[in-house]
Amino acid sequence: MGRISLEDYPVTFDNDFYFTINIGDKINILEIKSSTTATAIEKVYANQKLFNFKTFRFTNVDYSQIAAVDLVVLNELEILDPSIRVLLTNYLNDGGTIVLIPPVGADLESYSQLFTGRSLNIPDTLYLQSLAPPDLANPFYENVFEKAQGTIAMPQSTQSLKWGGDRNALLSFRNGNPFLSGIITAGNLYVFAGPLNDVYSGFQNHAVFVPVMYKIAFGSKKEEARLYYSVNQPVIRIAIDSLTQNTIIKLMEGEKELIPVQRISSGSALLELPSEIMGPGFYDVMAGSRKLSTVAFDLDRRESLPEQYSQDEIQQLFAGKNNITIFNAGDEKEFATAVTKLYKGTPLWKYAVIFALMFILVEVAFIRLLKP
């Protein structure tokens, strides 16, 4: 947990920034593969300090683990059984991330359920073709490469699966067909055009392979890893494990206790925040007496924007509004005077008193001058 405070007198409404860093949280990755040999995926995610990686052959995997991981890699599975298709579809709908690496001769009917609104087909011939360099302007590559230095020499690969055109493909062949696409729905589905092995591709041996796969993995980490949330954010997702549907989750800030509307499913809890009573600070996420995590909340960043409307912009915004009056005053005193004149009018009693005194003086003068 951390807090950054600024001394910016007289601005005091939002000078504290709260955040949490869950350093110990590893990215949970599950690979389901067709072969018994080590794959390129197993090698790229071998860093045990960053990843909690498990790999199983499709005949020997506990599919109930899918809901509890951040990233599922389907590596060259020829067919997806109906039971696993349902699990994977629900996993995507709950915000999960899947990397799909098709084999040669995939069963299109079993794969099509993961591709919403897209038609799949298999090319007539298989041949190696060159990949185009990545488009570094794509937001996916932000902070991936330090800077572009000339043209990147790309490897060759085979296309064994087609899903139509994709202008926003993360990687493409030279002919424009997508090699790697990110299909974003409720979750993230990343699809390769062919197998990642030495027979059909050289991409897994290229320098771009590691940063691309790391970017996918880091992007799969679910909402609980965020630095902070906004107090007016309607819903947040918290990772949970081995909690029943009847478990009540609370948010605790010191002595303040909040019980948000909640729904527990697929290894996570969706909490609807009571934004009208939320304030900035650190909140412990409690399941009974058990602490699940600590999350930070801050005021909306728009509260700190220093920009102001100019006088001309204000007049344009409220032009034609008869119930709105715009005052142009240089200081507080001038503003108060303008408001008083508008709503109370010009006070005349001072002038009445002055004229009354003048008439009294004139009358006294006449009496003295005319007195015999």
> Is 237:269 a contact under the CB 8 Å cutoff?
yes
- Alpha-carbon separation of residue 267 from 65, 226, 274, 289, 347 (angstroms): 10, 17, 23, 19, 72
Looking at residue 121, its amino acid is N
- Does position 181 have pLDDT exceeding 90, yes or no? yes
281-292 as b/e, with b when 16 or more CB fall inside 10 Å? ebbebbbeeeeb
- What is the rounded CA–CA span in Å between residue 96 and residue 150? 36
pTM: 0.60
CA-nearest of 279, 246, 248, 245 to 261 is 248
DSSP per-residue letters across 66-113? GGG-SEEEEES-S---HHHHHHHHHHHHTT-EEEEE--TT--HHHHGG
For 289-336, what is each residue's pLDDT tens digit?
888 888 888 887 776 666 777 878 888 888 877 777 777 776 777 777
CA distance 309 to 57: 62
First to last CA, the chain: 98
Q: pLDDT tens, 330-369?
A: 677 777 777 777 777 667 778 888 889 999 998 888 888 8
DSSP letter, residue 120: -
Classify 289 as helix, strand or coil.
Answer: coil
Share of the chain above pLDDT 90, in %: 27
Mean pLDDT of the chain: 84
Q: Which residues pair with 98 in a beta bridge?
A: 72, 189
Domains by residue range for the chain, with CATH: 2-21+224-301 (2.60.40), 27-220 (3.40.50.880), 311-367 (no CATH)
Instruction: Count Cα atoms within 13 angstroms, Cβ side, for 315.
Output: 5
290-298 and 281-287 strand pairing:
antiparallel
What number is the average pLDDT over the span 147-170?
84
User: Amino acid letter at 320?
Assistant: G
Give the bridge partners for 5, in sequence order. 16
The two three-digit tokens of residue 26, written as one number: 């590893």
Using the predicted structure, report yes or no on whether residue 160 has a pLDDT greater than 70: yes
Q: Are 22 and 225 in contact (CB under 8 A)?
A: yes
Q: pLDDT tens-digit profile of 93-114? A: 888 899 999 999 888 888 888 8
Q: Strands across the sheet with 171-172, in order?
A: 51-57, 27-33, 71-75, 97-101, 188-192, 178-184, 171-172
How many CA atoms does the CB half-sphere of 62 hold within 13 Å? 6
Determine the Cα–Cα distance for residues 9 and 370; give it in Å rounded to an integer. 70
Amino acid identity of residue 108, one-letter, is L
